[in-house]
Structure 1
Amino acid sequence: MGWRRLGVRGAELVPQARMSGPMPWVIAIMVALTAIALAAGLALGNAITSAKAEIEGGVTVQLLEPREDVRTREAKAAADALKRQPHVAGLRQVPQAELDALIEPWLGADVGEATNASIPVPALIDVRLDGPATPAKLKAIQQALTKVAPSARVDAQSGWLKPVFDAMISLQVLAIALVALLSFALAAAVLLAARSALGANREVIEIVHLLGGTDTQVARVFQRSIGFDAAGGGTVGLALAMVVILSIGRRFGGLGAGLVDSGALIWTDWLLLALVPLLSTLLAMLTARFTVLHALRKML
């Protein structure tokens, strides 16, 4: 009999009109921000992993000889020497037209005539190793090239991109920290809402206890109501986040940059994003349950 009355009276403990109070919309905002932050962190992780795998064995050889005829001769001799190196899996001498296109934004459209006339542009050889570009391999390549191309300079591609990777990793850590902070904020919002509802319905709860209702049954009422609000708010928040993520992804996709393209979300990332409202609902329900149980033990 007491449990039936609890079911009737318990429905009055917290507002039952779904998506009518502030709590569902607060949760929607939290879920949207969490999903966006998580998507940013996942995209950065994908970009870092893809870029590192692509350039891990990349080496750039620059021929710094200012005289064009000597530079051309050294480039040919360096390419022949590189082919005989044991760890070289492939190489490509970058054409002059491609070099001109790379420096055109800084020197203007007449870069070809300018470089031929007064500005010597180093010859570049893109080398791919059969494994990571370790210091020992770089030293062996440098020693082999010094004999045939004194102006050769050997650089690991991963070396000059290290500051970029460090910055991207810092942003990824920031995104993860933001997800954690938003989770704490969501739990705090639910905690405050549950305490407010308990204080506003203290007399009703006392009557429920007199009718035989237990703390667990009262907590279940709060948990169920918060769960409905969190599920509705989480769904709305995820929908908003998807609109933002897809819009930003389309804009970045139009850049055509390799590092940006490698940061595209894969199917496992979308699955994690879909779990955000579910996990948020679970967090809200557990927070409401433990908050109510803890408060009831002090109340009675």
Structure 2
Amino acid sequence: MAERAHQTGFFTRWNQARRADGLALRHALPDRLLPLLVAAMAVLAALALAGATGAQILSARWSSGAASMLTVQVPDPDTPAAAKAPATPLTRSDAVLAALADTPGAARVHRLDKAELDALLAPWLGRNNDFALTLPAIIELHMATAPTEEAGALARRLAAIAPGTLVERNAEWGERLGRLADSLHSCALLAVAIVAGIAVVLIMATTRAGLAARRMPIELIHAMGATDGYIAGRFARRTALLAFIGGLAGSVLALPLLVLLSHVAAPFATAAPPPPSAAIAAADWTMRAHMLLDTLPPPLIATLLALAPAAALIGWLTTQATVRAWLRTLP
């Protein structure tokens, strides 16, 4: 009985301390409107930061991927190679494949098969077409690093084996795609800055409304010797708490949207995922949720975790500045 009475007394004192507020900030700064607005700002910030993160990842992938890949076209691929080819009889495409495999820094040499060529030409010629002309062999040369041999020198070396062979570097397209992704990244960061500015204005307006609502008590305790730091701290702590709650709610609300967007954008940033197996399809919801969360890049996860503390920090700093500036206007 004594222990239960002690616990009851503890919770009673805790509730009284929680409700104790000499400035009545629970009425001056309502605990419903501000967290709701901050949560909306947090969702917008999360989406904008997701766009910035995605643009940065795409820029790095496009730039590195295009810079390290060469496309080789070999006309008449099934005819015998030139006399300067190796003594073993080889077709032109096989001779070029062997030469490319010996290229310093080559990581992978792949010749597109008929199905891949059909898929490549389908937007222009349709599917399942029997071509009257022999299509050139298309070979992709993936380098471990940026090619050290110039495309012209490589083309001349391959032309000695299979005359008419063309070599195309994709670095120019990679640079264009990189500039596009960088511009998207800048626009996303600008959107984040705009959202943060709107949040600052919103918190400032809410704080000034709270100051106006409690003007008489604030003037009274200020005249009695309460420092600017004490009054600003009381307002800032409550605003930071409400902003933290709003930022946390916004992060939770934004999580499903970010998982969906990351799942849709995954083929553009990484290799296409394998089709789900029957075991995965039959897995419970926790495993499926874990697999979906794995699609989020680590910078985006860190962004979600930082939203609530960032909102609290913005709320605290903005309220401190607003209250101190308002107090300096008092007589």
What is the TM-score of this pair, normalised by structure 2? 0.75
In 2, Cα distance between equivalents of 1:258 and 1:42: 11
Give the drift of 1:68: 6.5
Match of 1:61, SS state, is strand
For 1:99, give the aligned amino acid.
L
Give the drift of 1:147: 1.9
Give the drift of 1:261: 6.0
| 1:180 is the counterpart of 2:193 | yes
8 Å CA contact retained: 1:9, 1:208: no
Report percent identity of matched pairs: 25
For 2:41, give the aligned amino acid.
M
Give the drift of 1:170: 1.3
1:27 aligned partner: 38
Give the drift of 1:191: 1.4
2:208 aligned partner: 195
Q: Specify whether residues 89 and 17 from structure 1 end up closer, same or farther in structure 2 by C-alpha distance, changes over 3 A only.
A: closer
Q: Specify whether residues 197 and 23 from structure 1 end up closer, same or farther in structure 2 by C-alpha distance, changes over 3 A only.
A: same
1:285 aligned partner: 316
2:146 aligned partner: 132
Question: What is the CA RMSD across the aligned residues, in angstroms?
Answer: 2.9
Give the drift of 1:184: 1.4
In 2, Cα distance between equivalents of 1:250 and 1:83: 35
2:114 aligned partner: 96
In 1, Cα distance between equivalents of 2:126 and 2:103: 38
In 2, Cα distance between equivalents of 1:150 and 1:189: 69
In 2, Cα distance between equivalents of 1:17 and 1:89: 62
Match of 1:212, SS state, is coil
Deviation digits for residues 196-217 of structure 1 (CA, Å, limit 9, x no counterpart): 2223332221111233212111
Spell out the pairing of 1:66-145 with structure 2 (5 A cutoff): 69=79, 73-111=91-129, 113=130, 115=131, 117-118=132-133, 120-134=134-148, 136-145=149-158
| 1:273 is the counterpart of 2:304 | yes
Spell out the pairing of 1:213-252 with structure 2 (5 A cutoff): 213-252=226-265
2:162 aligned partner: 149
8 Å CA contact retained: 1:47, 1:259: no
8 Å CA contact retained: 1:47, 1:260: no
In 2, Cα distance between equivalents of 1:101 and 1:229: 54
1:43 aligned partner: 54
Give the drift of 1:143: 1.8
In 2, Cα distance between equivalents of 1:153 and 1:206: 82
Give the alignment partner of residue 166 of structure 1, picking from 163, 175, 179. Answer: 179
In 2, Cα distance between equivalents of 1:241 and 1:130: 38
What is the TM-score of this pair, normalised by structure 1? 0.82
Match of 1:150, SS state, is coil
For 2:110, give the aligned amino acid.
R
8 Å CA contact retained: 1:14, 1:222: no
Give the drift of 1:27: 0.9
8 Å CA contact retained: 2:118, 2:127: no
Q: Specify whether residues 80 and 8 from structure 1 end up closer, same or farther in structure 2 by C-alpha distance, changes over 3 A only.
A: closer
In 1, Cα distance between equivalents of 2:104 and 2:258: 46
| 1:57 is the counterpart of 2:71 | no
In 2, Cα distance between equivalents of 1:197 and 1:267: 39
8 Å CA contact retained: 1:39, 1:273: no
Q: Specify whether residues 88 and 150 from structure 1 end up closer, same or farther in structure 2 by C-alpha distance, changes over 3 A only.
A: same
Match of 2:72, SS state, is strand
Give the drift of 1:252: 4.3
Give the drift of 1:294: 1.5
Farther off after superposition, 216-225 or 125-134 = 125-134
In 1, Cα distance between equivalents of 2:240 and 2:234: 10
8 Å CA contact retained: 1:30, 1:182: yes
In 2, Cα distance between equivalents of 1:45 and 1:261: 19
In 2, Cα distance between equivalents of 1:176 and 1:79: 45
Farther off after superposition, 87-96 or 180-189 = 87-96
8 Å CA contact retained: 2:96, 2:162: yes
In 1, Cα distance between equivalents of 2:229 and 2:122: 72
